[in-house]
Structure 1
Amino acid sequence: MSHDLTPREVEIVRLISLGCTVKEISKIVGLAVSTIDTHRGNAMEKLGVGNMALLTRMAIKHRICKLNEKLTPAEKRKRGRKRDGWN
């Protein structure tokens, strides 16, 4: 499936669909929270969705993220969350 997302927007959508918060994504990619919010908003507009649940569904539909995909070990370290049983 095609989409008009930039590589950075794809990365942000992937991390959101894997359960990361905007603050965690900021730590992982090294950008300001406001920048992450901007990329997320742009991606949502391009995909025509209005909430995070639909954004996750579109990530799967457009093969940005697979159902069984998990964060990489490096992403887990940068995220800073303790073991929570998810990812």
Structure 2
Amino acid sequence: MLSLQDAKNRFSAVVEAALAGRPQKVSRRGKPAVVVLAAEEYERLVKAAQTQRGSFQEHLMALPADDVPRAAARPRDVEF
């Protein structure tokens, strides 16, 4: 893993490595921050995620209807 400063100093090499199929992890203040990867690989990952994910409606319809415990609270009387 490269520090941010090292990645800045060697940006061309970081890009070349990513284009060669070796994603480059970069840390900031000692913690993982970003990964530099080739645009083709990024597009492949996005496309794969989209094909695995259904629509929001499909997600809602897949939720278990009877298995979810419902609150037994009753509305309270309110005086106006």
Q: Give the alignment's TM-score, normalised by structure 1.
A: 0.23
- Structure of greater relative contact order (alpha carbons < 8 Å, 6+ residues apart): 1
Structure with greater strand percent: 2
Q: Between Structure 1 and Structure 2, which shows a larger proportion of helix residues?
A: 1
> TM-score when scaled to structure 2?
0.25
